Amino acid sequence: MRAAFYEKLGSARDVLQVGTLPDPSPMAGEVRVKIAASGVNPSDVKMRTGTGSAASQFPRIVPHSDGAGIIDQVGAGVPQARIGERVWVWNARWNRPFGTAAEFVTLPAEQAVKLPDGTDFAAGACFGIPALTAWQGVETDGGVQQGDWVLVNGGAGAVGHYAVQMAARKGARVIATVSSAAKAAHARAAGAEIVVDRKQEDVAARIRHVTHGKCVARAIEVDFSGNIEWLPSVMADYGLIAIYGSSQREGMVQFGPSILSNIGYRFFIVYNQPPALRARAIADLTHLLQEGRLKHSIAATFPLSDIAAAHEAVENGRMMGNIVVTP
């Protein structure tokens, strides 16, 4: 099969190769998916450069955890009826060497989820990480309640855009931060009631002003280290900060305001989502897709031969939405 792979860590152009690898066969309990679209996420870049939280333990890696396509083979114990099923996949490259940047991927059958009719493969290639992360940010620890003020930092990001939609759909009043007029329009179209340009405005002051001092019941945080200095000052009593990203590996939490307001800090990584929560996330996402309720945002599509450019697009962060590679 045609595949992209790397055998050492480094910059995209230095280490990513495109070539031919043996066709994989599904083992017992697995399916083989013929990939139509492979989603690129920041963690794929961090794994390739060795800057992520998880170390690489394989001599050759086909990158990307997310993807979508059609099941074309099943292993022992998996119903033959699944052959031909349109699916999206999760954790294809988590604790496994061969992800979705290839013509085929094999993985445990439950990691290939039926893609509802009407949802295209490019969108399906963005559910495993962006959509499931956003869902967890909104639903973890009791979930967002109707009428809650919710802050989505980075509301035009791949995760943030879904988080804004999911929180707004639950009746929350969403405040999104962005850094440009285009991103403001994107977050507003997703359902943000208030959009704050974090580069032009004092975000904390604006939040206290628009909420009349009530502050937010939940913050869904893309940059823990970058925003932790002011975050406690915008949290309502008993509020939760759901943290999925950080630009630096350390951040100083203020003890005083955190304990006085009983603020909860929930760090989470979607690769290690608790199974019961993941099952709920998948069921809820499937329901949203069946109802056509979610807007998807594909910023650019690259051919597999141009995978280095796709990784660079994710790395430089100038695009708005998800980056997809087609084999």
Binding mask 57-96 for ligand NAP (x = CB under 6 A): ----------------------------------------
Using the minimum distance from each CB to ligand NAP, give the nearer residue, 74 or 281: 281
**Which of the stretches 39-47, 66-74, 168-176, 228-236 binds ligand NAP when contact is defined by CB under 6 A?**
39-47
| CB of 160 or CB of 239, closer to ligand NAP | 160
Residue 316 CB partners (closer than 8 Å, separation 6+): none
Q: Which is nearer to ligand NAP, 62 or 175 (CB)?
A: 175
Residues 48, 198, 206, 311: which binds ligand NAP (CB under 6 A)?
A: 198
Total binding residues toward ligand NAP, as defined by CB under 6 A? 28
Contacts of residue 311, defined as CB under 8 A and 6 or more positions apart, other chains included, come to 12, 16, 40, 44, 45, 48
Q: Are 150 and 175 in contact (CB under 8 A)?
A: yes
Residue type, 193: E
Exposure string over 64-88, b if 16+ CB within 10 A, otherwise e: bbbbbbbbebbbeebeeebeebbbb
Nearest residue to ligand NAP, using CB?
157
Binding segment for ligand NAP (CB under 6 A), chosen from 1-9, 40-48, 93-101, 112-120, is 40-48
Candidate ranges 4-12, 96-104, 176-184, 302-310; the one touching ligand NAP (CB under 6 A): 176-184
Q: Are strands 216-221 and 298-303 parallel, antiparallel or unpaired?
A: unpaired
Task: Scan residues 259-298 and list those touching ligand NAP (CB under 6 A).
Answer: 268-270
Min. distance of Cβ 97 from ligand NAP in angstroms?
A: 20
Placement of tokens 């450019």 in the chain:
309
Closest listed residue to residue 327, CA positions, set 139, 104, 149, 151 = 104
226 touches ligand NAP (CB under 6 A): yes
Report, in Å, the least distance between residue 278 CB and ligand NAP: 12
Residue 52 · residue 44 · CB < 8 Å? no
Residue 160 is a binding residue for ligand NAP (CB under 6 A):
yes
Distance CA 138, CA 141 (A): 9
Angle between helices 275-290 and 132-139 (to 10 degrees): 110
Q: State which of residues 133, 140, 165, 211 lies at the interface with ligand NAP (CB under 6 A).
A: 133
* Helix, strand, or coil (residue 150): strand
Interacting residue with ligand NAP among 64, 223, 242, 311 (CB under 6 A): 223
Binding status of residue 119 toward ligand NAP by CB under 6 A? no
CB atoms near residue 248 (< 10 Å): 10
Q: Which residues bind ligand NAP (CB under 6 A)?
A: 41-43, 129-130, 133, 153-154, 156-160, 177-179, 183, 198, 222-223, 226-227, 244-245, 268-270, 317
